[in-house]
Amino acid sequence: MFDVEKIRAEFPIFKRKVNGNNLVYFDSGATSQKPEAVIEAMNRYYRETNANIHRGVYEMSAESTRLVDEARADVAGFIGGRSEEVIFTRNTSESINLVAYAWGEENISKGDAVVITKLEHHSNMIPWQELCRRKEAELRVVEIDSQGRLVESCEKKIFEENGLKVVIGGWKELLDSKVKMVAFTGQSNVLGTIIPVEETVKTVRKLSPSSVILVDGAQMVPHMSVDVVKQGIDFLAFSGHKMCGPTGVGVLWGRKEILNKMKPFLFGGDMVGEVKLTGATWASLPSKFEAGTPDIAGIVGMGTAVNYLKRIGMDEIQKHEKSLLEYALEKMEGLENEGVVSLYGPKDEMRGGAVAFNVIGVHSHDTAQILDNYGVAVRSGQHCAAPLVESFGVTSMVRATFYLYNTKEEIDYMIRKILEVPKVFI
Ligand SMILES: Cc1ncc(COP(=O)(O)O)c(C=O)c1O
C-alpha cells in the first residue's frame, strides 16, 4: 500500500526547516530529494569498497566493477532494455548531446530534417539546432495549442535566422521522408503535458519511416512505467538526480543495432580495444561510449534509486502524483476564478504533476521568493524552455512540481501562502 508518510520518513531532508518553517519541496522537476537508502549506498561504497573499475585484478576493484554492472542491469530492467544498451553519462543533456554528435554527425546531411517540439527543454533543442546549422539541415518544430498540447495540424511558418531554417507546423505538416530524427519529450517540464510515446512513435514510423526516434525521458522515467521495447523508440535519455538518485549520473539507452554503428563520442581510457601509436579500435558496448573513470559512487546510487522506485511501484507513484495534480488544479482553478493567478497547461488527462502559474501582476521570482519565506520551494523563471514560456505571452512562470513524497496538506499550505503574495504588493 502506498503510504506517503512512511515514504517521507525515508527522506532525511524533510527533517530540516527553511526560514523557520517545515520544508515544502515542490521543485522535484528540477531535482528530486534522495532517500536514506541512496545516500547510505553511496556512503557505504566510499567507506567499504572504493576502487576503480575494470582496472584492477584485486578484490576491491572487482567488487566495484560488479556494483557498476549490477546497477547497469537494474537500470536496464527498469526501462525494459538490455544492460549493454545502457550508457552512463552525467545527465540527460549529455545523453542527448552524445546522440546529436555521435549519431548526428554521421547520419544528418544537407537537406535532411530534424523534428522537435515546442515543449522541449533547451537540452533537447539546442543540440539539434546546432547539428542542423552545421549540416544545413532543417529544424522542424511541432506547434502547441493554447493549453500546451502538440497539434496534429496547423498553418506552416517558415523562417531562417543565423543560418538555420526553422519550420513550425503540426505533426502532419512536418513528418515526411526528409526527416531523419524525431526528438521529443515524454513530459513537459513546465506544463506537465504528457506526450503519448507509443502512439506518437506509430505516427512517426508511418510518415517518416527512415527516421530515428529519441525520447527525452528526464520528466518521464521518474514518474511512470517505461518500456523502451513496447514503446518502440530508438534512444531514451534521462537523469538520475530527478528520480531519487544522485546528481552526476545520467543514462542514454540506445538500441544495440544503432549504437553498434555509431562512432564514439569521447575518447580515452576504458573505451578501447587495441591501441597503437597510430590509432585504436573501440571496445564493445557499452564501454565504447564511456571514456574515463565514471562516477562510480553515483552509479551505485542510481542503481539503488531505481530499486527504491521499483519497490514502491511506478504505477503507484504515478497514481499518487495524479491525485496531487487533480487536487492542486482544483484549488488553483479556484484562485484563477478569483482573479489571483493565471494558469498554464493542459486541462485533460495527459498531464503529469506540474502546475505552472503566475500570480497576476507579480513577477514569478517575487512569488517564489515570498513562498520561500514560508518554506515552500518552487521554481520560477523560464525553466530552460524559453520558447515555450514565451509562447504564452509571458517572460516567466512559477512552477510547482510534485513527487512521491508530497502531500495534499502541502498543497493546501502553498495555496494559503499564494494568497499572501498579492498582499505584499498592495
Ligand atoms: C524535460 C527535460 N529535459 C532535459 C533536462 C535536462 O536535464 P539535466 O539538467 O539533468 O541534463 C531537464 C531538466 O530539467 C528536463 O526537465
384 is known as an active-site residue = yes
Amino acid at 62: A
Contact 265/109 with Cβ under 8 angstroms? no
Q: Is the CB of 219 under 6 A from ligand 1?
A: yes
CA distance 217 to 58: 37
- CA torsion, ordered 350, 351, 352, 358, to nearest 10 deg: 170
Angle, CA 236 vertex, CA 138 and CA 383 arms, to 5°: 70
Given the residues 132, 154, 244, 384, the one annotated as active site: 384
Q: Is the CB of 290 under 6 A from ligand 1?
A: no
Grid cell locating 424: 505584499
Average pLDDT, the chain: 97
User: What is the Å distance from ligand 1's center to 235 Cα?
Assistant: 15
Q: Which residue matches cell numbers 518544430?
A: 141
Considering the segment(s) 4-30+313-424 as one domain, its CATH architecture is Alpha-Beta Complex (3.90)
The predicted-structure confidence for 139-197, as pLDDT tens digits, reads as follows 999 999 999 999 999 999 999 999 999 999 999 999 999 999 999 999 999 999 999 99
Q: Is the CB of 97 under 6 A from ligand 1?
A: no
Task: Report the nearest-CA residue for atom 16 of ligand 1.
Answer: 189
The predicted-structure confidence for 220-263, as pLDDT tens digits, reads as follows 999 999 999 999 999 999 999 999 999 999 999 999 999 999 99
Annotation: CATH topology of 44-311: Aspartate Aminotransferase; domain 2 (3.40.640)
CA distance 95 to 236: 8
Question: Got the DSSP string for 150-161?
Answer: B-S----EEEEE
Sign of the CA dihedral running 249, 254, 256, 258: negative
CA distance 387 to 393: 10
Amino acid at 349: E
Asked, colleague to colleague, whether 4-30+313-424 and 44-311 share their fold, the answer is no
In this predicted structure, the answer to whether residue 383 has a pLDDT above a threshold of 90 is yes
Residue 315 has a pLDDT of 98
Residue 56 has a pLDDT of 77
The predicted-structure confidence for 97-136, as pLDDT tens digits, reads as follows 999 999 999 999 999 999 999 999 999 999 999 999 999 9
Task: Report the nearest-CA residue for atom 12 of ligand 1.
Answer: 218
Q: What is the mean pLDDT of residues 367-371?
A: 98
Contact 76/83 with Cβ under 8 angstroms? yes
The predicted-structure confidence for 46-78, as pLDDT tens digits, reads as follows 999 999 998 779 999 999 999 999 999 999 999
User: What is the Å distance from ligand 1's center to 123 Cα?
Assistant: 6
Contact 88/299 with Cβ under 8 angstroms? yes
3-state secondary structure of 251: strand
The predicted-structure confidence for 300-347, as pLDDT tens digits, reads as follows 999 999 999 999 999 999 999 999 999 999 999 999 999 999 999 999
3-state secondary structure of 188: coil
User: What is the Å distance from ligand 1's center to 168 Cα?
Assistant: 23
Of 41, 16, 103, whose CA–CA distance to 240 is shortest?
A: 41
CA distance 79 to 82: 9
Q: Is the CB of 187 under 6 A from ligand 1?
A: no
Residue 131 has a pLDDT of 98
Q: Is the CB of 28 under 6 A from ligand 1?
A: no
Q: Is the CB of 239 under 6 A from ligand 1?
A: yes
Residue 55 has a pLDDT of 76
Question: Got the DSSP string for 24-69?
Answer: EE-BTTT-----HHHHHHHHHIIIII---SSS--SHHHHHHHHHHH
Domain residue spans of the chain: 4-30+313-424, 44-311
Amino acid at 343: L
Task: Report the nearest-CA residue for atom 14 of ligand 1.
Answer: 30
Contact 109/135 with Cβ under 8 angstroms? yes
User: What is the Å distance from ligand 1's center to 115 Cα?
Assistant: 18
Residue 294 has a pLDDT of 97
Q: From the CA of 250, give the closest atom in ligand 1.
A: 10
Of 178, 164, 95, whose CA–CA distance to 134 is shortest?
A: 164
Contact 233/200 with Cβ under 8 angstroms? no
Give the residue ranges of DSSP H helices in 141-196. Answer: 171-174
Residue 13 has a pLDDT of 98
pTM of the model: 0.98
C-alpha separations of 142 from 139, 208, 297, 386 in Å? 10, 14, 39, 15
Q: Is the CB of 95 under 6 A from ligand 1?
A: no
